[in-house]
Amino acid sequence: MSEGEQRRIDATFEAADDLLWQAVAGRLPQLPPLTLARSGLIGPLIELAIARLATPDAYRGVTIEPPIFHQVEHALCDGAVSGAGAHDRAGVFPLSRFDLSAGADNALWDQWVKHAENAGVTAGLPRSLVTGLMGAIGELQDNVFEHSGRPASGLLAYGAGNGAFELVVADAGRGVLASLRENPEFAHLSDSGAALRVAASDGASRYARSTGHGYGIGQLFRALAHHAAELRFRSGDHALRLCGDAPSLTGQVELAQKAWLDGLVVSVRCAPGPPRQGS
């Protein structure tokens, strides 16, 4: 990103990746002011929110317009829940608001999930698909508490519009590599790219497979068995992208090195037509 380029760009995954590279290299504060506009995606905005909270000074010249970005920041900083209104098309639920104690009343969570499901159906997706996706995301939410080491940094988000439905579960914890290496089966893993491939397989976690942990990803793939979608797994210095009909590790897979980002971000986007390209 040079000084001669247009200084207003869409908030895509490519833009988020580029900004993270520039920030990690220490060059972003020296670049001219930049505005990120809506791209129709929430995944890149959540990645940027995690990065900006970690190093706010690096992003002082970056203005981010989409309202969902500010909802994410309020969720992470203030525990604010959004998207639980009858007509909301996007929202964020910070996991700091989720009570894991026995018999806890998580009515606000239940209400948020129901509104997210309705938003997905309104966007044109079959209710069975949306219900399956929300179930899988619920499993991935459990993974944040079980594996991230920083569950208070976790959140879930949804966005619906233009016939597409997007779900994101994210945290700013230790990431998949450090977590998986606690399991002797995966102690040999040397980088986040290899760890993401393992994490995207069914039954892989920091616990032994016999314990029944690590099956949220498999549930996600089963929900998408008859549908087109685009998935992005982002942790450490890699991103893993799966797309196409019934996306899986045996289908269209792209693994690429990126600038470092704490934690794990899982973004899922479904639409009645072909999935969006270019993550």
Does 193 fall in a domain?
yes
Cβ pair 241, 230 in contact under 8 A: yes
Does 34 fall in a domain?
no
Does 4 fall in a domain?
no
Of 67, 7, 75, nearest to 42 by C-alpha is: 67
- Quick: pLDDT tens for 94-122: 999 988 777 778 899 999 999 999 999 99
Does 212 fall in a domain?
yes
Q: For position 104, what pLDDT does the model report?
A: 77
Does 130 fall in a domain?
yes
Cβ pair 150, 264 in contact under 8 A: no
Angle between helices 127-147 and 216-223 (to 10 degrees): 170
How many domains, in total, are found in the chain? 1
Q: For position 9, what pLDDT does the model report?
A: 95
- Alpha carbon distance 51, 235 (integer Å): 12
Does 210 fall in a domain?
yes
Which residues constitute the domain of residue 150? 83-270
The residue ranges of the chain whose pLDDT is under 70 are: 1-6, 202-216, 272-279
What CATH code is carried by the domain that includes residue 117? Answer: 3.30.565.10
Does 96 fall in a domain?
yes
Q: For position 167, what pLDDT does the model report?
A: 96
- Alpha carbon distance 273, 185 (integer Å): 39
- Alpha carbon distance 70, 64 (integer Å): 8
Non-local (6+) Cβ contacts of 199 within 8 A are 176, 180, 217, 233, 235, 264
Does 213 fall in a domain?
yes
- Say if pTM beats, i.e. exceeds, 0.85: yes
Q: For position 274, what pLDDT does the model report?
A: 45
- Alpha carbon distance 160, 228 (integer Å): 16
